[in-house]
Amino acid sequence: MRVYGVIGWKNSGKTSLMERLVAEITGRGFSVSTVKHVHHDVDLDQPGKDSHRHRVAGASEVVLASAHRFALMREHRGPEPDLAEVLSRMAPVDLILVEGYKRDAHAKIEVFRREAGHDLIQPGDPLVRAVATDMALDALPVPVLDLNDTRQIAEFILREVGLATV
């Protein structure tokens, strides 16, 4: 599977860029899935609901299924799964965009805004292939892309993963 990351510090604009990239790339006819790494517990379930009762009883996986979507919840009851394990459970698509997992070994684009109050990640990570920003940056060893030019960023990523149509 083709995997490409979008990384950056909190409040840098990663999620907004992800949303725009999904719309842009799917608009070109490619199938896209996303992975979002979070640092807090995620629970789609509610105490008292049947699916919650299944989990509490010890089910390893619980699927909530309806006419328009299904959600698979898996209890790993151990260490947090790494990105490779998460990806192995996903259905095949043309591209998986990953938000977060900034230290994992996959190609990434860094979203950088000085207002976020952090230094660039790129100088310390050779897998950061470009920086998307809304400001001028001193010379970097990677391309600097306009954070507001979703088309340009999408084209860069599609070239990187071998899906460029031009």
Does 59 or 33 have the greater pLDDT score? 33
The pTM assigned to this predicted structure is 0.88
DSSP 7: E
| Helix then strand then coil, % of the chain, to nearest 5 | 25, 25, 50
Edge to edge, what strands does the sheet with 128-133 contain? Answer: 32-36, 95-99, 3-7, 108-112, 128-133, 144-146
Digit-coded pLDDT (tens) for 3-30: 999 999 988 999 999 999 999 999 999 9
- Residue pair 79/86 in contact (Cβ under 8 Å)? The answer is no
| C-alpha distances in Å from residue 16, one per residue of 41, 73, 152 | 22, 25, 15
Helix axes 14-27, 150-160, angle to 10 degrees: 70
Give the pLDDT of residue 41.
Answer: 63
Of the listed ranges 117-121, 139-143, 150-154, the least confidently predicted one is 117-121
pLDDT band at residue 90, thresholds of 50, 70 and 90? very high
Count of H-run helices and E-run strands, the chain = 4, 8
- Residue pair 101/37 in contact (Cβ under 8 Å)? The answer is yes
Does 165 or 32 have the greater pLDDT score? 32
- Residue pair 126/108 in contact (Cβ under 8 Å)? The answer is no
Residue 96 pLDDT > 90: yes
Q: Which ranges of 79-161 would DSSP assign to H, the alpha helix?
A: 83-88, 150-160
pLDDT band at residue 99, thresholds of 50, 70 and 90? very high
Average per-residue pLDDT in the chain?
90
Give the pLDDT of residue 35.
Answer: 95
Residue 148 pLDDT > 70: yes
For the chain, which domains are there?
3-41+80-160 (3.40.50.300)
Rg, Å, the chain Cα set? 18
Name the most confidently modeled range: 37-41, 80-84, 116-120, 156-160.
156-160
Q: Which of 82, 34, 75, 26 is nearest to 55 (CA)?
A: 75
pLDDT band at residue 39, thresholds of 50, 70 and 90? low
DSSP 115: G
Does 29 or 61 have the greater pLDDT score? 29
Give the pLDDT of residue 42.
Answer: 62
